[in-house]
Structure 1
């Protein structure tokens, strides 16, 4: 028997079996059952159809982790529209590109971020603009609650197939503009299935949203938590005090957090000594950079939480590996920390390889470095409107595998450990930052003659951008612009998390005979005191 895999099944299942159970604790204080959440999603679906949104049209969502995000996502997908979540940390110029590139037809934006869309609405093809607080937003916006109230929730759900694109997630590229990662009903569904297994999600879980819902659909938790009938605890931001309070008052059992979030929690714990659990045991998943063993030790031994280290990319679901292999460590032994800091081996149904430049597997000696490539049902379908980039991503070293651009070693058990990056990507606090984009921005300043940006080790963020700048007067001792002024220049022209706060003036950059900048030399210099050239959060 073949039954199509559709993301709409997740909310349908929750409504069928958990209709009277609490589904969402809203940031505004309301508590919704699964039936109520479903009714609100139905209302949004009906409102979109009334405004001419059809199957295949793109609907963008710009929102922190609130119930509105869940309702807008499911409302869009129920009519066959393509859910297009937006990173609220981006600039209006970034949104202009994305809305134009995706051809977005409707936008729901939270009141805290709607001004970024209002600033560019005349430049984009979007015609429908909805927010959750019209009083707090300038311009002509419709009220989310009003559009729900104006209909009875009746909408026409079109026929859908599992191979149709249902989400587009934009990711920072190493060159040029962001790329839209196209994910189908099938890829989203299978990712949610296998993630539910490896993350041990059950219907009595209470999930705290510390991971952005926009980030690869919250690593698939908008589907898995819903489909299992578990409870969503929504948030408007990530503050250590609020996280510990929610863990206690809502009996949180599961959450996610980049290593920088773990560090923030540790700092708060050491200063304030809060209670770390409520009625439930807590497990936390981390990704983005390998956490140091000391961080894992504090989370597990002092907080009493169970840490799961996972790995992937926007293009891969994201989750493709786990180091939670309990037959390889004893829960009471400190040896487990060395295992848990590795990226691990593949999720169910996922083939992970580390290959050399000829596409051959490197030996499992934990020494030989190769590039990580993957095959799996959770891997993206394609890049939106970028066939050449798609072809390269799947066929560079090993034909038919997605190439992650991370360089790793493999141990005797087949567990990988990331050592370096092939791509010009900096991962700071869990956010991908293109060094090329930062270089292009700095080149716009008249006082910059040449520049190279690399990741620099950072205790708080894992790594942070550092720019080596050749000043226009070629005098690094007396440059015509201060480092502080260049930092402010990047802050004014980029999303805040991309700001270049470390700048070193140099006479020249290391280059090859053909003039290509050898960033590897700069990275070796910057990371000489570290055991690998990637950040540990």
Structure 2
């Protein structure tokens, strides 16, 4: 039997079996059952349909982790429209590019972020603008709750195929403009199934939204948590005190935290000694950069949480590996920390390889470095309107595998450990930063003659962007110029992309043909580290 895999099945199942059970704890404290959530989703679908939104149209969602994001996403997808989540830390220019590139037809924007859309709305093809605070937002916006009140909730779902694109997630390009990662009903569904298995999600879980929902649909948790009938506890950003309060008050059993967030929690714990659990045992997933062993130790031995280290990329679902291989470590042994800091072994049905330049597997000696390539049902369909870039991503070393750009070793159990990156990218606090984009911004400053940006180690963020700058003349006050360059990038780029360190140099190392040898700069910065990627 062949039954199409559709993302709408997740909410349908929750409504069918858990209608009277709690679905969402809103940031306001209001609570919704799955019947109530489903009715709100139906009404938003009807409101979109009344405004001409249908199958294949793009609906952008710009929202922190509130119940409105879930409602807007499912409301769009019920119509076969393409959910296009936006990173709320981007700039208006970034949004103008994405809304135009994806040809977005409608956008829901949270009241705190609608102000970033208002200045560029005449530049984009979008015609429907919805917010959850029309009375406090400048411009002509329709109010989300008012739309729901006026809608009849009747939804005429189109016929959908599992190979239809249903989400587009934009990732920072290492070169050029951001790329839209296309994901189908099938890829989203199978990824959510894998997350459900490997993250051990159950219907009695209470999930705390500390991971942004815009990050590849919250690593698939907008589907998995919903489909299994578990409870979503929503947030508006990451605050250590509020996280501990929510964990204790709501009996949270599962959450996701980048290593930087774990470090913030540790700092707060050491200063304030809050309760770390409620009635439920807690497990936490982390990714973005490898957590140091000291971080894992504190989380597991002091907080009493069980840590799962996972790995992937926007293009891969994202999750493709896990360090949670319990037959490879003893829960009571400190040896487990060395295993858990590795990116680990492939998810079910996922072929993860580390290959050399000829596409051959490197030996399992944990010393030979190759590129991580992956093949699996959760891997993207391709990049939106970029067939050449898509072809290159699947064919460079090993035909038919997505090439991650991450360089790793493999141990005797087949567990990978990221050592370096082939891509010109910085991963800081779980966010990808294009070195080239930052260099382009710095080049616009009159005092910059030449510049190279690399990732530098950071205890707080894992990695931070550092610029080696050849100044145009001798700076009168290097410290003041460094501050000026940081401010200059802050005015032009998203806040997380701001240059965090500047070193003024007479020249940059180059090849005979004049190409900057960033590897030399990186080797200099990472000389005291075990590997050339950050630990959060």
Q: TM-score range by the shorter chain?
A: over 0.9
Aligned-residue Cα RMSD (Å) equals 0.9
Deviation at 1:480, TM superposition (A): 11
> 2:203 is paired with a residue of what secondary structure?
coil
Residues 232 and 479 of structure 1, relative CA distance in 2, 3 Å threshold: closer
Q: Within 2, Cα distance between the matches of 1:497 and 1:479? A: 23
1:299 counterpart residue number: 299
Deviation at 1:13, TM superposition (A): 0.2
Q: Within 2, Cα distance between the matches of 1:27 and 1:274? A: 21
Q: TM-score, normalised by structure 2?
A: 0.99
> 2:64 is paired with a residue of what secondary structure?
coil
The answer to whether the 8 Å contact 1:410/1:416 transfers is yes
Q: Within 2, Cα distance between the matches of 1:490 and 1:187? A: 37
> 1:482 is paired with a residue of what secondary structure?
helix
Deviation at 1:271, TM superposition (A): 0.2
For 1:315-326, what aligned pairs fall within 5 Å after superposition? 315-326=315-326
The answer to whether the 8 Å contact 2:475/2:481 transfers is no
Deviation at 1:135, TM superposition (A): 1.7
2:533 counterpart residue number: 534
1:376 counterpart residue number: 376
Deviation at 1:155, TM superposition (A): 1.7
The answer to whether the 8 Å contact 1:476/1:505 transfers is no
Q: Deviations over 1:205-240 (max 9, x none)?
A: 000000000000000000000000000000011100
For 1:105-504, what aligned pairs fall within 5 Å after superposition? 105-473=105-473, 475=474, 482-504=481-503
Q: Within 1, Cα distance between the matches of 2:395 and 2:173? A: 17
The answer to whether the 8 Å contact 1:216/1:318 transfers is yes
The answer to whether the 8 Å contact 2:424/2:434 transfers is yes
Q: TM-score, normalised by structure 1?
A: 0.99
> 1:134 is paired with a residue of what secondary structure?
coil
Runs of 4+ aligned residues of structure 1 deviating over 2 Å after TM superposition are 475-481
> 1:136 is paired with a residue of what secondary structure?
coil
> 2:135 is paired with a residue of what secondary structure?
helix
Q: Deviations over 1:182-206 (max 9, x none)?
A: 0000000000001100000000000
2:10 counterpart residue number: 10
> 2:226 is paired with a residue of what secondary structure?
helix
Q: Deviations over 1:145-173 (max 9, x none)?
A: 11111121002100000000000000001
Residues 270 and 58 of structure 1, relative CA distance in 2, 3 Å threshold: same
Q: Within 2, Cα distance between the matches of 1:357 and 1:476? A: 43
Q: Within 1, Cα distance between the matches of 2:360 and 2:330? A: 34
Q: Within 1, Cα distance between the matches of 2:328 and 2:155? A: 51
1:66 aligns with 2:79: no
Q: Within 2, Cα distance between the matches of 1:277 and 1:477? A: 54
The answer to whether the 8 Å contact 1:447/1:481 transfers is no
State the aligned residue count. Answer: 536
Q: Within 1, Cα distance between the matches of 2:154 and 2:371? A: 50
Deviation at 1:478, TM superposition (A): 6.2
Q: Deviations over 1:325-365 (max 9, x none)?
A: 00000000000000000000100000000001111110000
Q: Within 2, Cα distance between the matches of 1:389 and 1:157? A: 33
Q: Deviations over 1:436-469 (max 9, x none)?
A: 0000000011111110000010000001000000
1:519 aligns with 2:518: yes
Q: Within 2, Cα distance between the matches of 1:501 and 1:407? A: 25
Q: Within 1, Cα distance between the matches of 2:455 and 2:56? A: 39
1:99 aligns with 2:109: no
Q: Within 2, Cα distance between the matches of 1:54 and 1:533? A: 47
Q: Within 2, Cα distance between the matches of 1:322 and 1:365? A: 19
Q: Deviations over 1:1-22 (max 9, x none)?
A: 0000000000000000000000
2:506 counterpart residue number: 507
The answer to whether the 8 Å contact 2:453/2:466 transfers is yes
Q: Within 1, Cα distance between the matches of 2:483 and 2:71? A: 43
The answer to whether the 8 Å contact 1:470/1:476 transfers is no
> 2:71 is paired with a residue of what secondary structure?
helix
Q: Within 2, Cα distance between the matches of 1:234 and 1:51? A: 28
Deviation at 1:531, TM superposition (A): 0.5
Q: Deviations over 1:305-344 (max 9, x none)?
A: 0000000000000000001000000000000000000000
Q: Within 1, Cα distance between the matches of 2:429 and 2:90? A: 15
The answer to whether the 8 Å contact 2:372/2:408 transfers is yes
Q: Deviations over 1:357-410 (max 9, x none)?
A: 111110000000000000000000000000111000000110000000000000
Residues 105 and 510 of structure 1, relative CA distance in 2, 3 Å threshold: same
The answer to whether the 8 Å contact 1:476/1:506 transfers is no
- Structure 1's unaligned 5+ residue stretches are none
- Structure 2's unaligned 5+ residue stretches are none
Deviation at 1:479, TM superposition (A): 6.0
Q: Within 1, Cα distance between the matches of 2:35 and 2:285? A: 29
Deviation at 1:54, TM superposition (A): 1.2
Deviation at 1:476, TM superposition (A): 6.6
Q: Deviations over 1:118-158 (max 9, x none)?
A: 11000000000000011220000000011111121002100
The answer to whether the 8 Å contact 2:357/2:397 transfers is yes
The answer to whether the 8 Å contact 2:59/2:104 transfers is yes
Q: Within 2, Cα distance between the matches of 1:481 and 1:93? A: 27
